Each structure stands twice: as structure tokens, then as C-alpha cells.
Amino acid sequence: MTKYNDISIHIVELLGGKDNIVFFTHCVTRLRFNLKDKSLVQQKKIEQLDKVVGTQWSGEQFQIIIGQDVETAYNQIIEENHLKPATDNSSNNTQEKKKSKGKFSFSSFLDILSGCIVPVIPILMGTGMIKVLLLLLTTLNVMSTKNPTYFVLNFISDAGFYFLPIFVGSTSAKKFGTSEPIGMLLGAVLISPAFIQSVAKGDAISLFNIPIFKANYTFSLFPTILAVFVMSYIERYLKRFVPNVLKSILVPFLTIMIAAPLTLWIIGPIGYFIGNWLMKGILWLYSTTGFLGIGIFAAIYPLMVMTGMHTVLNPYSVQAFATLGYEPITTIGMFVSNFAQGATCLAVGVKAKNNKVLRSNAFSCAFTMFAGGITEPALFGISAKYKTPLYGSMIGSFAGGIFGGLMQVKAYAMAGNGGPIGLACLIGPNAMNLVWGIVSVFVSMIVTFIATYILFKVPENDASKSVTIKNNALFNS
């Protein structure tokens, strides 16, 4: 592999050495590093590496923005530097947890959500798009709901959401540095067929004569995340005191015997109410503020992405798709905001006709968005750097969000892409839903272009050369 040589060869040294890396993983577009000593990071030099779009700190985590091909970079860094992948890094996770003990913050909460939820999003995107495909085929009368192929594809799609507690049990265990199989088991306990049937029938359920709260935990996130979090402490405590000769038997046995009942009695219900309250709270805001709320959300969305706060929306989105079958707020807000970033770069490129470096950089960032649905180059290379393009994009996003809210545009699957391809998730029972979604995007782009062109002033001396090289490298690869 030679694609990310510059990164793989130099990144460990620029992060303070291999011993300074506590935990290393990636999300959809970013490499994520948890480090022992933040002062050892040479951030400016990292930003000059080929194919690095940008960098930022999110709490204690250092993020390097690569783009949609981030997994290739991740694998090359691991191979080149003999690092352990996140799936094998439970000991490092434990060190990270000890280091941050007693230092809980909102940024650490975002980091936990990201580590537990982001890895399962590809499953939800893929199965959600199968559901959209089936909806399109039945709407066009290409396939009947009684067709055997429809039946099979439908239960494949449902499996992605139904077994979500098991998937999250695995990712949460990795994040908390505990047993992955037992984490998956706790998720499986919550959706055990016998338990689900008893809940459906309304039967009284108890364990050791202590009643169990009757809830349907399919499609849920928080119950499993909380259960695995508590389980990680139980397992760690048992490993300290159980004799080595008995650890292989007693530790898993006692961990399950303690964690599973606690999950059914206390932890599961708490997570269930958190998930429901989160979704109902956001939907209440939507019903109260209506189209205005979507406009405001779309306007602030780029700020949420830059700070990593958009991660908070994932649990709500999953819950909405699972319970409502659609999502009416965040997806259309994300689309109009993303396309606004492309439009603001176009405006900067058009206006900077006498600044070849800035012009090239702006058009490159616009291409990144329109071709791949990736906004980071535009956000960090143009909007955040020059400020007025950010204001222009927020004005346009607000306008596009208002229109999308007025037309009640809904998403029927998680968007696998924030660009043109991802708009397929707007295909629904109402054929005009996709049309109004596209119109919302164009409203956002037109208003953004005009606002940015008016607000932006081309700087006389602009040092954009390094950014241009990075963005061009992203597409020439």
C-alpha cells in the first residue's frame, strides 16, 4: 500500500511516539486518537501531511480528517507501525478509562456515544436503503408485498434494527475495554424471544421474586450501552479478586449472573426511558417550532459537525426510524447544510478570480462535497478559515431548512452519503417528498451562493497553498 505513505510513515512520530497513543480508531471520515500527553502532538506538521484534510481536538481526542477512504488510511497506519486495531486494544481502553476516571465531561460523553454508535451506522445505512428500495419497487408496482423476494429482503432489512442491541453490545464492549462476547450477550438478553413474547402478552415477569420491567428493547441503544458500561466494572473487579486458576470459569459466570439481572431490573429500564425521552423531546420541539426549528437546526449544523456534537443526534435518528419509520428533522437539515457548504465554496471560487490558489482550493472543496458528500474540506479549508463563507452557508441553510420544514420533507432511511447519492433516502410513499427535498437543497444553495458572494471579501495575501495541496491530493488518489 502506498496511498497514505506520508501519513503512515510520519504520524506516530508526530503524535509523540507509539507509547503516547492510548487508543486508535476511526469513524466515517476521521482518524481518532486518544493520547497520554497532548503537548507532544505536532498539530501543524500533521496538517501538512499529504491527504490530511484537517485536524481538530474533540475533548481529549485528537481527530485527523481524511475523508470517506479513512479505513484505508487506518489499516495502513496499523500495518506500517504495528499498532493494535481498536478491536484488540482492550488493555489500552482500560488505561484510557483509568486516566479519565473522575473527569467526566460533555466531550467525553460525545466520545462514548461516538465509540459505541458510529461503528454500527453502516449496518443501519445498508439495511435502511434496502427498505427504501422495497418501498420504491412496490410504489412503482414492480414488485408485490406478497412476492417471496420482497419477504426475504424485508426481514434482512428488519434484522439490522431488530438486533441492534447485540451490535451495540459488541461496540460498547470495545469502547469500555471489556469482554465483547458478554457485551453481546447482554444485548441478546434484552431481545430474547421468550422475553419479547412475555412482554407482548403482558405476563408478569420476575427474577428471584423481584419484578422485571416489561419493555420491548428491540431497536434500542441506551439500555445496552449502560448495561455494558456497568458490566465493564463488574468484570474488572472480579478479575482482580478471583484466583487465576478459576478466572476462565468464574469471571464470565459471575459477570453474567450479576450484570444480566441488574440489566433487567434497573439498567435496561433506565436506558429505555432515556431513549424514549430523547426522541419524544426532539419531536416535541419539532411539533412546537415546526419549520422554524428545522431552519435553525440546519443553520447550526456545520457548527455541530466542527465540534463533533452531531454525534448526539444518532440515538434519536435510530429511535425515530425504528418507531416512526421515518425521520423528519435532522436528515433534511443535514442535506441542506451540506449542500450549502458546497455552494459557499463555489461562491468563494467565483469571486476569487484573481487569487488562483484560493480559487483552486475553493473549487476543490466544492467538488469534494458534490461528488462525495464530504463537508470537512469546505468547513475547515474555507468556511472556518474565512468566517464570512460560514455565515453565508448558515443563512442559506436556514432558508433551505425552512422550505424543507414547510414541505414536511422526511427521510425513510439513514443517509449513507451526505451528497447527491444520499438523497435516495428521501424516497417514500409520497412521490413529492424527494422532489421537495431536492428543491430544499437548491433553495439552500442559491441563497448561500448569493449571501456568500455579498459577504466574502477576497484577502490580498492568502496562504492557502498547503490546503490546496491536501484537497487536491484527496481527489487525485
Most confident of 309-318, 340-349, 414-423: 340-349
- State the pLDDT at residue 464: 44
Q: How far apart are CA 159 and CA 321, in angstroms?
A: 13
- State the pLDDT at residue 313: 83
| Helix or strand (DSSP H, E) at 207 | strand 206-207
407-426 per-position pLDDT tens digit: 999 999 888 678 888 899 99
Average pLDDT value over all residues in the chain: 86
- State the pLDDT at residue 151: 94
325 backbone φψ class: left, alpha, beta (φ>0; ψ -120 to 50): left
Q: Stretch 313-320: mean pLDDT, rounded?
A: 84
Does residue 208 surpass a pLDDT of 70?
Answer: yes
- State the pLDDT at residue 256: 96
Q: Stretch 197-221: mean pLDDT, rounded?
A: 90
Pick from 54-58, 264-268, 294-298, 338-342: least confident = 54-58
Domain locations in the chain? 5-101, 163-284, 290-476
Pick from 14-18, 323-327, 392-396, 473-477: least confident = 473-477
144-200 per-position pLDDT tens digit: 989 999 999 999 999 988 999 999 999 999 999 999 999 999 999 999 999 999 988
Does residue 296 surpass a pLDDT of 90?
Answer: yes
| Helix or strand (DSSP H, E) at 256 | helix 244-262
- State the pLDDT at residue 185: 97
Residue 114 Cα distances to 58, 281, 295, 321, 327, angstroms: 11, 21, 25, 19, 20
Does residue 455 surpass a pLDDT of 50?
Answer: yes
Only one residue has cell 455552494, namely 343
For residues 131 and 161, the answer to whether their CB atoms sit within 8 Å is: no
Half-sphere CA count of 14, side-chain side, radius 13 A: 19
Does residue 43 surpass a pLDDT of 60?
Answer: yes
Does residue 332 surpass a pLDDT of 90?
Answer: yes
Does residue 231 surpass a pLDDT of 90?
Answer: yes
Beta strands in 12-145 (DSSP E): 21-26, 30-35, 54-58, 61-65
Does residue 91 surpass a pLDDT of 70?
Answer: no
Q: How many CB atoms lie within 10 A of CB 5?
A: 14
Q: How far apart are CA 209 and CA 461, in angstroms?
A: 75
Classify strands 30-35 and 61-65 as parallel, antiparallel or unpaired: antiparallel
Only one residue has cell 414541505, namely 407
Half-sphere CA count of 415, side-chain side, radius 13 A: 26
Residue of 272, 253, 261 whose CA lies nearest to 210: 261
| DSSP assignments along 69-104, one per residue | THHHHHHHHHHHHTPPPGGG-HHHHHHHHHHHTT--
- State the pLDDT at residue 106: 67
Counting residues of the chain whose pLDDT is more than 90, the rounded percentage is 48
- State the pLDDT at residue 113: 81
Amino acid at 135: L
- State the pLDDT at residue 171: 93
Amino acid at 129: M
Counting residues of the chain whose pLDDT is more than 70, the rounded percentage is 90
For residues 107 and 58, the answer to whether their CB atoms sit within 8 Å is: yes
Pick from 34-38, 101-105, 122-126, 235-239: least confident = 101-105
For residues 28 and 415, the answer to whether their CB atoms sit within 8 Å is: no
Farthest CA pair distance, the chain: 79
For residues 222 and 271, the answer to whether their CB atoms sit within 8 Å is: yes
Does residue 92 surpass a pLDDT of 80?
Answer: no
- State the pLDDT at residue 119: 85
Only one residue has cell 458528500, namely 373
Told to judge if 365 belongs to the known catalytic residues of this protein, a careful annotator would answer no
- All cell numbers assigned to 63: 481527530
For residues 215 and 274, the answer to whether their CB atoms sit within 8 Å is: no
- State the pLDDT at residue 403: 97
Please identify, in words, the CATH class of the domain defined by 5-101: alpha beta
pLDDT top residue among 333 and 475: 333
Q: How far apart are CA 273 and CA 459, in angstroms?
A: 52
Q: Stretch 59-87: mean pLDDT, rounded?
A: 82
Q: How far apart are CA 455 and CA 463, in angstroms?
A: 20
Catalytic residue, chosen from 27, 116, 365, 425, is: 27
Neighbouring-strand partners of residue 211: 206
For residues 101 and 28, the answer to whether their CB atoms sit within 8 Å is: no
Does residue 463 surpass a pLDDT of 50?
Answer: no
Provide φ and ψ at 57, rounded to 5°: -95, 135
Only one residue has cell 437543497, namely 441
280-291 per-position pLDDT tens digit: 888 888 888 889
Q: Stretch 105-128: mean pLDDT, rounded?
A: 80
Residue 38 Cα distances to 41, 53, 61, 312, 365, angstroms: 6, 20, 9, 25, 29
pLDDT top residue among 19 and 396: 396
CA 200 to chain centre: 32
Q: Is residue 175 exposed (0-12), middle (13-18) or buried (19+ Cβ within 10 Å)?
A: buried
Q: How far apart are CA 255 and CA 44, in angstroms?
A: 46
448-451 long-range contacts, CB within 8 A, separation 24+: 448/340, 448/343, 448/344, 448/347, 448/392, 448/393, 448/395, 448/396, 448/397, 449/343, 449/344, 449/346, 449/347, 449/392, 449/396, 450/347, 451/391, 451/392, 451/395, 451/396
